[in-house]
């Protein structure tokens, strides 16, 4: 009878063990990631107007290449800064590193509004990326280590949705700037000035967010192993190994790093070298169809694409807990491949793009980035978690940063965005295969 009653007992809600402290921690990381999302899409949507302002007449003939350069140099700075900041967060703490990251990239984004040529722009994009890179990995580690097991993936999905809300804010602001045109050719400068506002958010982080107890305990007890059951090398039990080398020194940790980094490259190359060109391609469709107010269609596609991504972010924690991490990754990249083909090979009008864009956004921006917020943190211990998550996310940028530049060259060589996007979109096939070589972490505790 007792067994029957136990089996019949209702399952505890994933929200049952959440407290106000959990939600404050999520809110702090969520708000920081909103600003990152805003910054990322703001650059994409203003790129045509921005290039018109900063390029000389001689440079305009190679505009796709310069556009790719600006995106690529941002990714390079983002990758280097994220790798450094994520590693530092395992030494100085998640909260402190997050505060410095938010403050510095906000100030540098504001200064970007003052640039007058493509070289000033590229330099500021690089240093802004350096500052911005570490915010994500510190927030992911903080939420993963503070939220209970049954709610952890949901919290990470909600956190990742901050990027989508940030991109939506950028798309909406740019839409209204285009509609009312208050500053004409200088509308793009307003977008960067708005990006300076997160500097004030540091005040909330300082007072409302606590440090991770799991990280404090791991450092206090000198638990330096990178994966479950592992320990520091013999003779170094009392001395902390450098976290960036520790994740490669252990065979299992190195294997997990290699596979998840490859999947991260698939995600980042897919977005920056394929989906980031959707606004440009929509503009080309509008011109070919001789539609009125093409900028309105471009902004509308940006908004619906982002809405699709936000839906995916909010749902990702529930989906990944239902089907498991590996099946989630498989379906994510299969959907990304299919919707890339739909967007660049099937769509022929802006009206059709309006339908496909949110579906494409659900996979290529939503699910494709949500797994990075959930899965890598479950594969490594607290003493190296921020370093590991940061390496997986940011080393991919260090490898992929030149793809936007290369895609610009391909666009010019092949005579169109669609051909280049379809070539790069084939990278999603790799993402469908690699997950099956990683461990399944569904319903498991974080490795200590």
pLDDT 10s digits, 353-363: 999 999 999 99
Q: Looking at residues 155-179, what average pLDDT do you find?
A: 89
Residue 2, pLDDT > 70, answer no
CB 158 within 8 A of CB 140: no
User: Which has more confidence, 408 or 291?
Assistant: 291
Contact between residue 377 and residue 142 where contact means Cβ atoms under 8 Å apart: no
Reference 48, options 259, 287, 245; nearest CA is 287
Asked if pLDDT for residue 256 goes beyond 80, the answer is yes
| pLDDT at position 42 over 60 | yes
> Is the distance from CB of 414 to CB of 301 less than 8 angstroms?
no
> What's the pLDDT at 318?
96
Separation between Cα atoms, residue 91 and residue 387, nearest integer Å: 10
Q: How far apart are CA 75 and CA 69, in angstroms?
A: 10
Domains of the chain, first to last: 20-209+241-437 (1.20.1250.20)
Tell me the C-alpha distance between 144 and 155, whole Å. 8
Q: How confident is the model at residue 146 (pLDDT cuts 50, 70, 90)?
A: very high
Secondary structure of residue 175 in the 3-state scheme: helix
* 342-351: pLDDT as tens digits: 999 898 899 9
CB 66 within 8 A of CB 55: yes
| Confidence band, pLDDT 50/70/90 cuts, at residue 143 | very high
Least reliable range by pLDDT among 19-33, 83-97, 310-324, 425-439? 19-33
Percent of the chain with pLDDT over 90: 50
The DSSP secondary-structure symbol of 211 reads P
Give the residue-averaged pLDDT of 243-249. Answer: 92
Q: Is 298 a residue whose pLDDT tops 90?
A: no
Stretch 107-130: mean pLDDT: 92
Residue 154 has pLDDT above 80, yes or no: yes
Question: What pLDDT is attached to residue 229?
Answer: 75
Q: Cβ(305)–Cβ(365) under 8 Å?
A: yes
pLDDT of residue 410: 66
Query: Token pair for residue 417?
Result: 């965005």
What pTM value is reported for the model? 0.84
């Amino acid at each position: 009878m007792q067994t029957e009653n136990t089996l019949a007992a209702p399952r505890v809600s994933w929200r049952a063990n959440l407290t106000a402290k959990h939600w404050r921690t999520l809110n702090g990381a969520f708000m920081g990631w909103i600003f990152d999302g805003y910054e990322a899409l703001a650059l994409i949507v203003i790129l045509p107007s921005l290039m018109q302002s900063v390029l000389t007449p001689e440079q305009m003939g190679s505009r796709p290449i310069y556009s790719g350069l600006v995106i690529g140099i941002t990714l390079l700075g983002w990758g280097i800064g994220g790798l450094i900041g994520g590693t530092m967060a395992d030494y100085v703490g998640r909260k402190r590193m997050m505060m410095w990251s938010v403050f510095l990239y906000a100030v540098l984004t504001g200064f970007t509004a003052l640039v007058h040529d493509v070289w000033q722009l590229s330099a500021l994009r690089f240093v802004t990326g350096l500052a911005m890179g570490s915010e994500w990995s510190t927030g992911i580690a903080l939420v993963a280590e503070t939220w209970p097991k049954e709610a952890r993936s949901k919290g990470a999905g909600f956190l990742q949705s901050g990027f989508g809300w940030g991109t939506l804010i950028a798309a909406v602001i740019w839409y209204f700037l285009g509609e009312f045109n208050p500053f004409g050719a200088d509308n793009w400068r307003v977008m960067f000035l708005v990006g300076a506002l997160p500097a004030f958010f540091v005040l909330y982080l300082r007072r409302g967010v606590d440090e991770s107890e799991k990280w404090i305990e791991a450092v206090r007890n000198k638990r330096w192993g990178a994966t479950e059951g592992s320990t520091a090398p013999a003779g170094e039990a009392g001395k902390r190994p450098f976290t960036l080398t520790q994740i490669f020194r252990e065979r299992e940790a190195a294997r997990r790093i290699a596979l998840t980094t490859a999947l991260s490259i698939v995600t980042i190359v897919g977005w920056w070298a394929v989906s980031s060109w959707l606004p440009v391609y929509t503009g080309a469709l509008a011109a070919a169809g001789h539609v009125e107010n093409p900028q309105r269609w471009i902004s509308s596609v940006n908004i619906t694409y982002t809405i699709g991504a936000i839906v995916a972010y909010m749902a990702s924690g529930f989906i990944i807990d239902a089907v498991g991490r590996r099946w989630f990754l498989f379906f994510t990249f299969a959907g990304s491949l299919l919707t890339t083909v739909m967007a660049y090979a099937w769509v022929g009008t802006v009206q059709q793009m309006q339908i496909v864009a949110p579906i494409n956004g659900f996979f290529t921006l939503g699910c494709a980035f949500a797994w990075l917020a959930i899965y890598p943190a479950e594969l490594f211990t607290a003493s190296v978690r921020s370093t590991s998550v940061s390496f997986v996310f940011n080393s991919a940028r260090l490898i992929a940063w030149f793809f936007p530049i290369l895609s610009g060259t391909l666009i010019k060589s092949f005579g169109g965005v669609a051909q280049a996007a379809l070539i790069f979109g084939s990278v999603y096939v790799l993402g469908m295969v690699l997950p099956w070589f990683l461990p399944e972490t569904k319903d498991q505790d974080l490795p200590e």
